[in-house]
Structure 1
Amino acid sequence: MSTQKSISSRAWAEMLLLAAIWGASFLSIRIALDEVGPLTAVAHRVGWAALALWVVVWLMRLPVPRDPKIWLGFLGMGVLNNVIPFALMSWGQLHIETGLTSILNAATAIFGVIMAALFFADERITARKAIGVGLGFAGVAMAIGLENLRSFDLRSLAQLAVIGGTISYALASVWARKRLAGQPPQVAAAGMVTGSTLIMLPLAWMVEGPLTLNLQTDTMVAIGYYALIGTALAYLLYYRVLAMAGSGNLMLVTLLIPPFAIVLGGLVLQETLRAAAYGGFALLALGLLVLDGRIWRLFPARAR
């Protein structure tokens, strides 16, 4: 039976803060997309976040890696954890609600279990994991509404794009374990978004045109929020919470993000979600709690 750290009140507070920051990021990205393209939105996100994180590394006087293999690891992590998922999800948000995007994003942990089992011998699929993954897939299917895929319109494609982003996140966790073990989290985060920036700046320029700061005030505020707070600060806070609560408990943040995104999307953008989306989130949340082990431990060992 797995063991977990108990969660202190401070850890709970910082988990809620992290969930609120990331939940609001979905709203700020959607606001920016009213004026800039999805690739440009991502280029701003990783570019400004990289500058902020290197300032943190400098202030903390952390050593900067010189091994080219480590920088290749940063580049690969940037592709899997930023370039692909950020671009797919930003484009997806043009066609689906921010709240639904956040619900589908919660499937990252489900795909993470599968990828870990595929790539690591010590991460085999147990009965608990199989049940959790099954519930998670059922929740994703309900949230998307498989009947909606029959027409396969832009909305359907956007939902699949977001799911593609979650699969990329899951692959990023595998990459990090194989290539970035032992790096200080601040340096790893800075290196990762730097690698992302090296790809996104020319890509956004070629596809959507030159980047400019001659943007509306709302757009600039949104970019500033999701780049500096929703990315740079959130990464630093993530590693603080990880140290305090442990990786098992940190999965709870995934469940706390959608309520913030759904409420903000409703209040600011007047978005409404289908009842099936809420039912899908409930099933997905149940699956994540089974993976987390909390619900599993409620049943006697003999029954399990």
Structure 2
Amino acid sequence: MSKASRRQTTAQPQISPSEQGIDGLSWLMLIVLSVLWGGSFFFTEIALRELPPFSLVLARVALAATILWLIIGLRRISLPHTPSVWLGFLVMGILNNMIPFSLIVWSQTYIASGLAAILNATTPLFTLIIAHIATDSDKLTLRKVIGVVTGFAGVIVVTGIPALDALPGLTTNNNESAISLATIAPFAVLAAAVSYGCAGVFGRRFKSVPPIVTAAGQTTGSSIMLAPLALMVDQPWHLPMPGMPTWLAVLGIASISTAAAYILYFKLLNRAGASNLLLVTFLIPVSAILLGVGFLGETLEFTDIAGMLVIGLGLAIIDGRPIKWLRGKANSRTT
């Protein structure tokens, strides 16, 4: 090979993971991650039969933090020494664990796990909007705007806003209006998605910190914040001793759907890139619905399925790959 050839070869730009196609192992990891995260809705549905929401969330994050710190200790991973980083872990724990976990768990006392998973799939939509407002480098494009609008149209299909008169769930009792908690529950999941979106933007400051340390730090921070809240609101010492299915569900949601999911998440992030990782959002509702229908006897309305498909279409538009695929098919037919 000549020197010119070698220079031309070495001058080729490297392709980032997010720009590459997903290989077979990455697809397998993606599917497994969707089952792990989809399983959190399944485990929650079981544990809520005997545990109140705050106690369940506290058990989830505290046990997950314990598992993550044990792994960090065994692997002898170095820890950050800057106080601002540890304060950031606390904020991240509030935004990424405490608020969304509590809202989603509370909502599942009124709605099915599959519906909660569908509404939770709006997280990338809110992330795009928040990133557009809060950052200078991640602005909305026309394609992303169309995707966001499509995604929120799916939310409207699921929540049924157009079918309601005035305010949703409005009832009259002694000349006073009250909104039923069952009607508010879907919007609690949407609020959780907003919190996840804020966490996604805030979490960019931890690029220099080992991912598993960030995960352990945020679950520890959320445990510290949730402990007094769970003690005051739930008063767990007055609760009857939970049965074995509840303990197994708590162990599953902490070890499988939190600790193991975080580890796999960060491995997949490094392997496939952030944009490819967003594809897991398509798969989580499917996993949660299949688990809920198969093991919990849940049923979903036609509007739930239709809304999930519209949300998925919005995410596909944002992701851009289906459009590129269709263009490639069209070009191949013309040539």
TM-score w.r.t. the length of structure 2 is 0.86
What SS does structure 1 have at the residue aligned with 2:279?
Answer: helix
* Residues 1:234 and 2:261 are matched in the alignment: yes
CA drift of 1:299 comes to 6.3
The whole-number CA distance in structure 1 between the counterparts of 2:241 and 2:181 is: 30
The whole-number CA distance in structure 2 between the counterparts of 1:172 and 1:21 is: 20
Equivalent residue for 2:212? Answer: 186
CA drift of 1:66 comes to 2.2
Equivalent residue for 1:87? Answer: 102
2:280 counterpart (253, 256, 263): 253
Flag structure 2 segments of 5+ consecutive residues without an equivalent.
1-15, 170-178, 329-335
Structure 2 letter corresponding to 1:83: M
1:150 counterpart (148, 151, 168): 168
The whole-number CA distance in structure 1 between the counterparts of 2:142 and 2:322 is: 13
Equivalent residue for 2:3? Answer: none
Flag structure 1 segments of 5+ consecutive residues without an equivalent.
none
Query: Which aligned pairs between 1:164-183 and structure 2 lie closer than 5 A?
Result: 164-177=191-204, 179-183=205-209
Structure 1 letter corresponding to 2:221: G
Q: Deviations over 1:97-139 (max 9, x none)?
A: 1000000000000000001100111111111100110111001
What SS does structure 2 have at the residue aligned with 1:295?
Answer: helix
Query: Which aligned pairs between 1:23-102 and structure 2 lie closer than 5 A?
Result: 23-102=38-117
TM-score w.r.t. the length of structure 1 is 0.94
Q: What is the percent sequence identity of the aligned residues?
A: 42
What SS does structure 1 have at the residue aligned with 2:19?
Answer: coil
CA contact (8 A) 1:128 1:296 kept: no
RMSD: 1.7
CA drift of 1:21 comes to 1.1
Equivalent residue for 1:201? Answer: 227
The whole-number CA distance in structure 1 between the counterparts of 2:183 and 2:19 is: 38
Equivalent residue for 2:6? Answer: none
Structure 2 letter corresponding to 1:17: V
Structure 2 letter corresponding to 1:64: L
Structure 2 letter corresponding to 1:47: A
Equivalent residue for 2:22? Answer: 7
Structure 2 letter corresponding to 1:259: V
CA drift of 1:300 comes to 5.8
CA drift of 1:224 comes to 0.1
CA drift of 1:5 comes to 1.9
CA drift of 1:95 comes to 0.3
